Amino acid sequence: MTTMTRFPVMSSRTISELMPGELPEVVMPSCESRPILRGQTAVVTGASSGIGRGIAASLCAAGANVVVNYIGSDSAADEVVHEATHCGCAHRGRAISVKGDVSDEEQVSALFRRAIEAFGTVDILVNNAGLQQDAPLESMTLAQWRKVIDVNLTGQFLCAREAVREFKRRGVRAGVSCSAGKIVCVSSVHEVIPWAGHVNYAASKGGVMLMMKSIAQEVAPWRIRVNSICPGAIRTPINRGAWETAEAYQDLMRLIPYKRIGEPEDIARLAVWLCSDEADYITGASLFVDGGMTLYPGFEAGG
């Protein structure tokens, strides 16, 4: 006689019913951080708003001197400098703002010259400047395609090249860091998630992925580390339409298993750690900070 083992059948309804209702408010850790970047200088591109702004403030709180690169309004950049240098952290570094377009070769050299003049050298580059110019494929103009590739991909190349030149020239600074330099590329979940209506943006981030890994491979023998952070939906001006109204926010939650939008600080905490010697054996990695957006959320209630 055979005995049948009965397995409970979990219907997708059961999984949906098991989902929690109200979730608690998120309380972010305070900015008081250990001075793990003391004595180092960081250039953060596109740092006058959004993720770049959060990263600039956190690097400064961790003891780094920060160059706030920006392209838009002078007063927004001044605010970031003020915020970063008045955060109350005892070991915070200094900060200056430097205007410049990352897609322009001459302006990128000028940015690094200015950083070296102000702080002596550059130890960290956060390749953050980026933008979206969305359109369906058939109406996307060549100008929209080029602008996004120029800023998001060519801009990261130009800044990485300048940083690597300085890292190699100077080498490891004993007592400051065990590596000769660190580059963090701010990529996106869209380096792996295709994005209809945003082919220029997804292509730029896919490009960042292999550019980052190829540079990481090339410069590793000089003890230079290169990694990417891949944010999901983070509450910044670039995607305001996706979180500003209650309906949009609810729609967005269908794409985020962790059921909250990300904050710039979620990205900034990783950026600080990745630039520190605590992450010394990490290079060539794309680290996703996305509340599970890359976990095929369409399957969260069963397949």
CA 11 to chain centre: 38
Identified binder of ligand BGC from the candidate list 232, 262, 264, 291, rule CB under 6 A: 232
Q: Judged by CB, which is closer to ligand BGC: 63, or 130? A: 130
CA distance 56 to 91: 15
**How many beta carbons lie within 10 A of that of residue 138, not counting itself?**
5
Per CB under 6 A, 100 contacts ligand BGC: no
Q: Catalytic one among 201, 249, 258, 281?
A: 201
Q: How far is the CB of 189 from ligand BGC (least distance, A)?
A: 5
Per CB under 6 A, 96 contacts ligand BGC: no
201 is catalytic: yes
Identified binder of ligand BGC from the candidate list 107, 121, 239, 294, rule CB under 6 A: 239
Q: Judged by CB, which is closer to ligand BGC: 186, or 274? A: 186
Closest by CA position to 266, among listed 27, 23, 18: 27
CB-side exposure of 184: number of CA atoms within 13 Å?
32
Structure tokens at 80: 């970031």
Please choose, out of 10-18, 71-79, 142-150, 234-242, the segment that lies near ligand BGC by the rule CB under 6 A: 234-242
Q: Which phi and psi angles does 228 have, rounded to 5°?
A: -120, 145
**How many beta carbons lie within 10 A of that of residue 289, not counting itself?**
18
Per CB under 6 A, 229 contacts ligand BGC: no
Please choose, out of 1-9, 77-85, 171-179, 235-243, the segment that lies near ligand BGC by the rule CB under 6 A: 235-243
Three-state DSSP class for residue 178? coil
Per CB under 6 A, 135 contacts ligand BGC: no
Q: Judged by CB, which is closer to ligand BGC: 97, or 188? A: 188
Q: Which residue in the shown chain puts its C-beta closest to ligand BGC?
A: 188
Q: In what order do the strands lie in the sheet with 65-70?
A: 95-99, 65-70, 41-44, 124-127, 181-186, 224-231, 286-289
* Cα-based angle 34, 37, 43 (whole degrees, multiple of 5): 135
Per CB under 6 A, 181 contacts ligand BGC: no
Please choose, out of 3-11, 84-92, 232-240, 280-288, the segment that lies near ligand BGC by the rule CB under 6 A: 232-240
Q: Interface with ligand BGC by CB under 6 A: which residues?
A: 132, 188-190, 232-233, 238-239, 242
| Catalytic residue numbers, as ranges | 201
